[in-house]
Structure 1
Amino acid sequence: MTDHTPVSADSSSANTSDSASATSPDTLAQRGQSRSRRPESQAFRDFMGSHWGERHIPTPQREAVADFLPQRATKAGAPFGHDRLVIPAGTYKVRSNDTDYRFRAHSAFAYLSGLGAEKEPDAVIVLEPTEDGTHEAVLYFKPRASRSSEEFYSDSRYGEFWVGARPSLDEVAVATGLRCEHIDTLRDALAKDAGTVGLRIVRDVDSQVEALVNEVRQQAGLPSGADAQDDDHALEAHLSEIRLIKDRYELDELRRAVDATHRGFTDIIRCLPRATQHRRGERVIEGAFGAVAREEGNGLGYDTIAASGNHANTLHWIDNDGPVNEGDLVLVDAGIEVDSLYTADITRTLPVNGRFSPIQAKIYQAVLDACEAALARANEPGVRFRDIHDAATTVLAHRLSDWGILPVSPEEALSPEGMQHRRWMPHGTSHHLGLDVHDCAQARREMYQDALLEPGMAFTIEPGLYFRSDDLAVPEEFRGIGVRIEDDVVVNADGSVTRISEDIPRTIADVEAWIEDVQSSTK
């Protein structure tokens, strides 16, 4: 990896001569800049800023998402009258020393700006109150600098030499349809009419922007810090809740994510024989899917679960360091995040050798039946989100009873005083899906679990059964088997609910045929 030490620094942390030696102990910050010798002569600066040809920047085009952004801003600002609303993108997170994780914007920022991929670190959306009581989204970010500036070659965070040519204000304005301003003007924009205009911010995203907002609040006599917490949390909850209903652009992006994820699962099946030959076969599976995620989208929507055998009974198994054995089932929970940052969330449980054993098929069919019951319930009128889980677990409780595993009747287990079936199905059946794999998580319960299904909602259906290898409450033949089936669904305009992941095989016969077809085509 290229050394991130810039080729220029201020005089307090570097000597002007390559051969100069320090005459006093370095500070800790200065030691972080000690790996390279940095030229600082004016001659060097003049030379670096000259003799460059014309940049070849593609002509900016208006993005499809731009048509949806004004309505999103209106919805976001509706409850907050004349308050100014601040939604930071966030900044880079340090991975180790001076290396960072890939940037991924806060989802509320992505929703209101329409910016995906790795755009734009350290940017801020401000929802500016207007005279008619609505809000206008204004995007503040750091545009690319002139190649005669020191930033061009010396700034490893923003410099074109280091991270490529950043967009201009005009280019982003064309792409998004938003008014765009330089980030250096943010302080003045927040201070304008402060006191007459309130200030709210999405907290814990960018500490520097949050500190700036609190400084302006204090100067204007507005509640700040802990005193403003309830107001800020109300904004965050509202920004979650308005994303419960997806617009047409969002639903199209979710379908694209599901299609890409289907291709990722096909590559998993293609690599299963190789996985059985590797001591960490689960990582062979993880790697195959991850390659498709980067080729087809922005990357993974979340860490892939590739859990073979008993590992499938650890719900969030992401170590993926175990073998993949012939005769095992491998549970793969994975989703591709497309460039717009919308993600799929799919689970398939696959027989490693291509065929389910009788006991594996018995458990798998029970889970599949629970999936179908949940979808059927979702298609009934007047259904609340929580009812989907109840439909799935009713099937599973009765199946556990039929097998002689449940210690009480299904009715007793399903009552609030019972819940014994949750030993083998400990998680919820559904969650909303969108920019986050567990989307809209800050929404109030009455808007989420207790809400009626509405057109535009997108969520998962994912029941499972998990029989741990050391579970003495189940027959020995069940032990070490874990099965989950997860699909992504949307509520249509007429209220019906459709699986948008229908094309990813899920029945026993279809899964076996899928494995046979893919592996035959690669021989």
Structure 2
Amino acid sequence: MSEQQPKKTDHRTRPTSEAFKSFIAGGWAPRPSELPARADVATYAAQRRAAVSQAFAGERVVVPAGGLKVRSNDTDYVFRPHSAFSYLTGLGADREPDSVLVLEPVEGGGHEAVLYFRPRAGRDTEEFYADARYGELWVGVRPSLEEIEAELAITARHLDELPEAVKKDLGLLTVRVVRDADPDVTATIDQAREQSQERDVEADRQLDDELGVFLSEMRLTKDEWEIEQMRLACAATADGFEAMVRSFPDAVAKGRGERWVEGQFGLVARHSGNGVGYDSIVAAGDHACTLHWIRNTGDVRDGDLLLIDAGVEVDSLYTADVTRTLPVNGRFSEVQRKVYEAVLEAQEAGIAAVKPGNKFKDVHEATIRVIAAKLVEWGLLPVDVEATLGDEGGHHRRWMVHGTSHHLGIDVHDCAQARREQYLEAELKPGMVLTVEPGLYFKADDELVPPELRGIGVRIEDDVLVTEDGCENLSSALPRTPDDVERWMAQLLP
């Protein structure tokens, strides 16, 4: 027997009289009659859908946005549509939960793109005033079918029509769905498949997986619109880093300074775009040696290094991902500078490897060779550089266990379903955006390093666009050399 969920009591009071319903339905100004202008992204989204149409000719392709997710009891997280849905529609921050894009094959070839979504309800409906999840008085006005069609240049239909549309002719037609986007939509399609004697359910699920891979690999190379979004994200992120540096004195004085600094960035991110692209890492002292330190509960002290890994996600959902390691008082100590310069040299080698024709993995190999050489130079490795870089070595990875790069875009770790041969083993091409982020991390309790190195963690990360003849550092507005960092901070600190 399945476990029953406890019944929730609804404590909201709702007016129910006919007099109230009549009163609230009237007295409103007319809706604007002018339709919205076509969004700039609409042309690019149509081109992306055309590529999907060509790849899956004669098949129905279902790409849900996903639904609202409960944060606590009856409160939801801010909605973020599934990345594949956003990529193919152009809808970004907090846009249209429960929506589903369907590419419906048409006679003669190609597909009609149809967006099924929940348009705004009339003011004479109970939803208008009583539905805390979707009602206009609770969460704001949603667009009409006509407005979505004008904005996105796409056919729009009511969400209520979706179940029949995705199940239609299932015995004769192959249907693919992005399985992880919306469990309810996936369950509807799976149930219809199971009821159809003409379908091999397991084979169909394999086709779904192939769709996910294809949509992920599509995003490996960015179009012009995406690159501009990445530029905006990097520019906003630079503003956020400046705000954080200005807050360092308060962070030292107030205690729990990591949280204070994190808050300054979050304010800029929320004001400049949708918010942060991922949980910010603000790691003082030894906390910098915990790679994904997102608790941000520590104090910030004069003399510390502060490792900050943060990125603004703009309204289109494209995000930056930048790391700087900064001296809290604006000046590197001798040993801090030594580690920082080693990491910077590794990063420079990695950035130099970002060019068409090189492979993605070449970037890591370039950076890690510098890291290994520095560790040998400092007497920390029991073997030489070639031995540690060999298959039977790897000793250097004790102090840089992570990789150097990942693709970046609408997800901070973009294109995650791409096959290895299309990612790690693939050649770099113009339009790709990737991070270059080497580091060195000497934990406070590491007895294999000299005492003066213990508790120092340094990472430097930039967002790099592959160009026709090399690369462009999209996050270059933030200084990287130790001298430039000190000059920059001197202008920001009191």
TM-score (norm 1): 0.91
Superposed, 1:388-399 pairs within 5 Å as 388-399=363-374
Q: 2:143 aligns with which of 167, 178, 181?
A: 167
Query: What code does the residue aligned with 2:472 have?
Result: T
**8 Å contact from structure 2 (residues 274, 314) kept in 1:** yes
What is the percent sequence identity of the aligned residues?
53
Equivalent residue number for residue 90 of structure 1:
66
- Check if 1:509 corresponds to 2:486: no
In the TM superposition, what whole-angstrom CA distance separates every residue of 1:368-415 from its partner, at most 9, and x where no partner exists? Answer: 001110111223x52100010000000010011001111110100001
Equivalent residue number for residue 98 of structure 2:
122
Equivalent residue number for residue 16 of structure 1:
none
Aligned residues: 490
1:227 CA drift (Å): 4.9
Alpha-carbon separation, structure 2, partners of 1:333 and 1:132: 51
RMSD, aligned CA? 1.6
Query: What code does the residue aligned with 1:176 have?
Result: L
Equivalent residue number for residue 24 of structure 1:
none
Alpha-carbon separation, structure 1, partners of 2:316 and 2:241: 21
- Check if 1:32 corresponds to 2:9: yes
Equivalent residue number for residue 485 of structure 1:
460
**8 Å contact from structure 2 (residues 35, 150) kept in 1:** no
In the TM superposition, what whole-angstrom CA distance separates every residue of 1:110-139 from its partner, at most 9, and x where no partner exists? Answer: 000100110010000112223344333221
Equivalent residue number for residue 420 of structure 2:
445
**8 Å contact from structure 2 (residues 194, 201) kept in 1:** no
Alpha-carbon separation, structure 2, partners of 1:222 and 1:475: 69
**8 Å contact from structure 2 (residues 444, 454) kept in 1:** yes
**8 Å contact from structure 2 (residues 276, 313) kept in 1:** yes
**8 Å contact from structure 1 (residues 73, 136) kept in 2:** no
Alpha-carbon separation, structure 2, partners of 1:516 and 1:128: 59
Alpha-carbon separation, structure 2, partners of 1:225 and 1:130: 24
- Check if 1:157 corresponds to 2:133: yes
For the structure 1 residues 60 and 390, does the alpha-carbon distance in structure 2 shift closer, same or farther, using more than 3 Å as the test?
same
Alpha-carbon separation, structure 2, partners of 1:134 and 1:55: 36
Alpha-carbon separation, structure 2, partners of 1:145 and 1:225: 37
Query: What code does the residue aligned with 2:135 have?
Result: G
1:207 CA drift (Å): 1.8
Instruction: Tell me the SS of whatever aligns to 2:417.
Output: coil
Equivalent residue number for residue 421 of structure 1:
396
Alpha-carbon separation, structure 1, partners of 2:338 and 2:194: 64
Equivalent residue number for residue 493 of structure 2:
519
Alpha-carbon separation, structure 2, partners of 1:89 and 1:100: 16
Instruction: Tell me the SS of whatever aligns to 2:493.
Output: helix
Equivalent residue number for residue 441 of structure 2:
466
- Check if 1:281 corresponds to 2:257: yes
1:57 CA drift (Å): 7.7
1:217 CA drift (Å): 2.3
**8 Å contact from structure 2 (residues 79, 97) kept in 1:** yes
Superposed, 1:219-298 pairs within 5 Å as 219-223=195-199, 226-298=202-274
Alpha-carbon separation, structure 2, partners of 1:204 and 1:479: 43
Superposed, 1:344-383 pairs within 5 Å as 344-379=320-355, 382-383=357-358
Gaps (5+ residues) in structure 2? none
**8 Å contact from structure 1 (residues 371, 485) kept in 2:** yes
Range that drifts further, 77-86 or 312-321: 77-86
Instruction: Tell me the SS of whatever aligns to 2:449.
Output: coil
Instruction: Tell me the SS of whatever aligns to 2:120.
Output: coil
Equivalent residue number for residue 473 of structure 2:
499
Instruction: Tell me the SS of whatever aligns to 1:386.
Output: helix
Query: What code does the residue aligned with 1:45 have?
Result: K
**8 Å contact from structure 1 (residues 467, 478) kept in 2:** yes
**8 Å contact from structure 1 (residues 431, 460) kept in 2:** yes
Instruction: Tell me the SS of whatever aligns to 2:254.
Output: coil
Q: 1:317 aligns with which of 262, 281, 293?
A: 293
1:463 CA drift (Å): 0.3
Equivalent residue number for residue 164 of structure 2:
188
1:180 CA drift (Å): 1.1
Equivalent residue number for residue 327 of structure 1:
303
1:274 CA drift (Å): 0.5
Alpha-carbon separation, structure 2, partners of 1:132 and 1:312: 59
Instruction: Tell me the SS of whatever aligns to 1:277.
Output: helix
Gaps (5+ residues) in structure 1? 1-26
Alpha-carbon separation, structure 2, partners of 1:226 and 1:288: 49
1:28 CA drift (Å): 4.7
Query: What code does the residue aligned with 1:473 have?
Result: L
